[in-house]
């Protein structure tokens, strides 16, 4: 279904995007439509890589801005087709993040002469394992396509600016013991009992609150899983707790792991998953100008998002998009029409004045 | 295959029993053979109930002794047929407990005129869930068949006397919390962290050692399982630890549960499994005479056994049988020939003098 980017409004376009299913790894039809619509615009140069599209102005401006959004959604959950009621657009991906994609597409179509050069990125497979992420693929294989002074990731942020993001690391901590029949437990050593000091550490741990560029990040250290036991009459010889550390972006992944080793001194840790945080970078001119222009309150991003992909490339980035992120991935996912209008208006003003 | 109880020795008979497969719920062929052999003995009255056989002398003696053993085994484990080497008989059930059954069958066949009346019980389905246990069925439905002053359960006890048995109780202890994304963990409450005081209690618990009738029982309180966790980025709202309490026979099941409620005050406990202990009862004349006659060292029984079934009926009972119980249920299960001979000799002496 061809996308009309010029004779439409942002609500209608969001609804059309919601009604074009694009679950992760099934984005091709939507990517085809987006490619056709962008290619029809004379002021943009379009590059396609898999189901990711990069569209650039090339006006020789002093600064270049990257505006990015992912095309894919989580699986349908009884929330199609889209439905507009009482100023709220409901439906799969309306919040995460076809509302933001609609805003970006309208900016791409209607602002032929922006005051900063713009690179629009519409990418695939954000909602699944990191190895498939289209933005990550471009960052690894064609980082030149993402070059810029500032990036805006249009993930839902309640139409406010969320800067930076926290890192995340998961580790497994194992305790060992010695099996024995539970009727003669003194013959063995109980690996679950050996977890007592670990849970004590977790229960009494005081997470840092760190102010960076005026934003307060709140770390967190949590057991997200625990498992142990052989059978109902056996003293168990192994137990494992999975711990998730969410760390402020002033720590690198190495720093985070060193901290965990100090906290759990004497216990062996195995990292099973890790992603770096991203500093807010609000002191950079492009970022500061953006925040001032959109006039939105700035908050820290606690969860991990693709802004970290830009940080790795040395590009300051923020989240700024319509929709309440708490409704992402929910059956009642939705986006307020007011968010769509306000984000589009603010970005239009910033890009044209 | 007919069983020859009179023109055989105890080792040959044990081997023949091992070579007659009788996994739990498949005891019928062996029960048929045992029934035929016992019915051929004029001095015994035989009652069959399912695959359980009860054979009694009725000489009007002042005391009656019950001698019991189960006919079933755990599943075969590459340990058939039987094999005799270096004074050790190997094979499925040789230890648990066809060696003991062979001793009892030879006593039944050869001692027509015991000084105490004897009730022999050969029962089915001891190795599986308690509801199938043949001795339990007789105790519930025909307790008159088990009447007696003293009982000997011929479970493997290293040819020594093990008196009484400890009780066992399993409880589930759950902690509750509130789910939240682990990136915003302060919005939730971590149920795994809430387990910290529970594991502290378990890790520092000092189990009682209790002397009863000169025997020292050692209790044990152990986590035998722990489980919690929703997914790698969610603060979990529930965790559960399964605790096994092995308690000395001076506590009833009610006492045991009251103790657990005191130990884990403030936490909810759900009993999932429970069996009472059995007091050694060594001060009773029949038991004391037995211990003196066999001249074996007496130890406490830590694990739960069917002696508790007799205790419920008010009959003091001991374990006394050939074989090392640590090899029960193992692929290399075996019984020393010396155990078979010594147990048979001691019981013959006790029953005839």
Whether the pLDDT of residue B127 is over 90: the answer is no
Per-residue pLDDT, A280 = 86
Q: Picking from A39-48, A129-138, B23-32, which range would have the lowest pLDDT averaged per residue? A: A129-138
> Within its chain, how far is the Cα of A11 from the centroid?
23
Contact B230 A224 (CB under 8 A): yes
All residues of chain B having their beta carbon less than 8 Å from the beta carbon of residue A232 are 170, 224-225, 242, 244, 273
Per-residue pLDDT, B152 = 96
Q: Where in chain A is CATH 3.30.70.360?
A: 167-275
Rounded CA gap, B301 and B281, in Å?
13
All residues of chain B having their beta carbon less than 8 Å from the beta carbon of residue A302 are 183-184
Only one residue has tokens 């760390």, namely A247
Strand ranges for chain A from DSSP E: 45-49, 52-56, 64-70, 83-85, 88-90, 117-123, 150-153, 161-163, 167-176, 180-181, 209-212, 215-218, 220-229, 234-235, 238-247, 269-275, 298-300, 317-320, 334-336
Per-residue pLDDT, B297 = 81
Which residue is closest to A170 within chain B, CA to CA? B232
Rounded CA gap, B176 and B266, in Å?
12
pLDDT confidence tier of residue B59, bands split at 50, 70 and 90: very high
Phi, psi dihedrals of residue A55, rounded to the nearest 5°: -125, 125
Burial class (CB in 10 A: 0-12, 13-18, 19+), B232: middle
Per-residue pLDDT, B289 = 84
Per-residue pLDDT, B283 = 83
Q: State how beta strands A317-320 and A150-153 pair.
A: parallel
CATH of A10-165+278-352, one of 3.90.1150.10, 3.40.630.10, 3.30.420.40, 3.30.930.10: 3.40.630.10
Residues 6+ apart with CB under 8 A from B314: none
More confident residue, B181 or B222: B222
H or E element, residue A35: helix A28-39
pLDDT confidence tier of residue A236, bands split at 50, 70 and 90: very high
Whether the pLDDT of residue B55 is over 90: the answer is yes
Contact B232 A222 (CB under 8 A): no
Task: Tell me the mean pLDDT in the region B91-112.
Answer: 97
Q: What is the pLDDT of residues A142-155, one digit of tens each?
A: 999 999 999 999 99
> Is residue B57 within 8 Å of residue B117, measured between CB atoms?
yes
Name which of A166, A222, A231 is nearest B190 (Cβ-Cβ): A222
Q: Where in chain A is CATH 3.40.630.10?
A: 10-165+278-352
Which tokens in the block code for residue A13? 């376009």
Contact A203 B226 (CB under 8 A): no
Rounded CA gap, A65 and A146, in Å?
9
More confident residue, A129 or B144: B144
Mind telling me how many Å the CA of A322 is from chain B's nearest CA? 20
Whether the pLDDT of residue A230 is over 90: the answer is no
CA dihedral B212, B213, B214, B215 (to 10 degrees): -50
Average pLDDT value for chain A: 94
Per-residue pLDDT, B7 = 87
Mind telling me how many Å the CA of B166 is from chain A's nearest CA? 8
Whether the pLDDT of residue A294 is over 90: the answer is no
Contact A203 B182 (CB under 8 A): no
pLDDT confidence tier of residue A221, bands split at 50, 70 and 90: very high
* Residue A72 designated active-site: yes
pLDDT confidence tier of residue B161, bands split at 50, 70 and 90: very high
Task: Tell me the mean pLDDT in the region B49-53.
Answer: 97
Q: Picking from A241-245, A276-280, B155-159, B167-171, which range would have the lowest pLDDT averaged per residue? A: A276-280
All residues of chain B having their beta carbon less than 8 Å from the beta carbon of residue A330 are none
Rounded CA gap, B14 and B121, in Å?
17
Rounded CA gap, A128 and A130, in Å?
6
B129, B183, B329, best to mutate vs chain A, most A CBs in 10 Å: B183
Per-residue pLDDT, B280 = 86
User: Which of A23-27, A124-128, A160-164 has the highest average model confidence (pLDDT)?
Assistant: A23-27
Q: What is the pLDDT of residues B272-330, one digit of tens each?
A: 989 899 988 888 887 888 888 888 789 998 888 899 889 888 898 999 999 998 888 88
Mind telling me how many Å the CA of A21 is from chain B's nearest CA? 26
Give me the percent of chain B exceeding a pLDDT of 70. Answer: 100
Contact A218 B304 (CB under 8 A): no
Which residue is closest to A325 within chain B, CA to CA? B181
pTM of the shown model: 0.81
Rounded CA gap, A303 and A353, in Å?
32
Q: Picking from A54-58, A277-281, B119-123, which range would have the lowest pLDDT averaged per residue? A: A277-281
Contact B229 A224 (CB under 8 A): yes
> Is residue A53 within 8 Å of residue A36, measured between CB atoms?
no
Contact A202 B220 (CB under 8 A): no
pLDDT confidence tier of residue B230, bands split at 50, 70 and 90: confident
Phi, psi dihedrals of residue A259, rounded to the nearest 5°: -60, -45
Task: Tell me the mean pLDDT in the region A122-126.
Answer: 96
| Nearest of B347, B349, B340 to residue B12 by alpha carbon | B340
Options A72, A124, A162, A333, the catalytic residue = A72
Helices (H), B194-252: 196-204
Number of H helices, E strands in chain B: 9, 19
Per-residue pLDDT, A133 = 94
More confident residue, A33 or B294: A33
Active site residue ranges of B: 72, 126
Average pLDDT value for chain B: 94
> Is residue B87 within 8 Å of residue B339, measured between CB atoms?
no
pLDDT confidence tier of residue A181, bands split at 50, 70 and 90: confident
Name which of A231, A236, A242 is nearest B232 (Cβ-Cβ): A242
Contact B220 A185 (CB under 8 A): yes
- Peptide linkage before B210 cis (omega within 30 of 0): no
Return the DSSP state at B133: -
> B167-275 is classed in which CATH architecture?
2-Layer Sandwich (3.30)
């Amino acid at each position: 279904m061809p996308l009309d980017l010029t004779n439409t409004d942002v609500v209608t376009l969001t609804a059309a995007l919601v009604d074009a299913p694009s679950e992760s790894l099934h984005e091709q039809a939507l990517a085809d439509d987006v490619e056709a619509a962008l290619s029809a615009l004379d002021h943009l140069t379009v590059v396609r890589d898999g189901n990711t599209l990069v569209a650039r102005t090339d006006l020789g401006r002093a600064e270049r801005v990257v505006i990015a959004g992912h095309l894919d959604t989580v699986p349908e959950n009884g929330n199609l087709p889209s439905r507009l009621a009482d100023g709220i657009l409901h439906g799969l991906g309306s919040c995460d993040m076809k509302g933001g994609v609609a805003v970006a597409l309208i900016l791409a179509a209607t602002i032929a002469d922006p005051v900063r050069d713009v690179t629009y990125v519409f990418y695939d497979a954000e909602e699944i394992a990191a190895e498939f992420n289209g933005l990550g693929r471009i960052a690894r294989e064609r980082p030149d396509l993402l070059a810029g002074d500032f990036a805006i990731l249009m993930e839902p942020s309640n139409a406010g600016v969320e800067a930076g993001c926290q890192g995340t690391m998961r580790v497994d901590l194992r305790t060992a013991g010695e099996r024995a029949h539970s009727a003669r437990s003194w013959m063995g050593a109980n690996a679950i009992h050996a977890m007592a000091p670990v849970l004590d550490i977790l229960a009494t741990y005081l997470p840092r609150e760190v102010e960076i560029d005026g934003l307060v990040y709140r770390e967190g250290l949590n057991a997200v899983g625990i498992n142990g036991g052989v059978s109902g009459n056996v003293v168990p010889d192994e137990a494992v707790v999975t711990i998730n550390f969410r760390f402020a972006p002033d720590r690198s992944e190495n720093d985070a792991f060193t901290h965990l080793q100090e906290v759990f001194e004497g216990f062996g840790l195995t990292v099973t998953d890790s992603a770096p945080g991203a500093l807010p970078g609000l002191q950079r001119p492009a970022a500061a100008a953006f925040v001032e222009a959109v006039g939105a309150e700035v908050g820290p991003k606690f969860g991990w998002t693709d802004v970290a992909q830009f940080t790795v490339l040395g590009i300051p980035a923020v989240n700024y998009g319509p929709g309440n992120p708490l409704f992402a991935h929910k059956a009642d996912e939705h986006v307020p029409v007011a968010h769509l209008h306000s984000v589009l208006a603010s970005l239009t003003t910033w890009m044209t004045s």
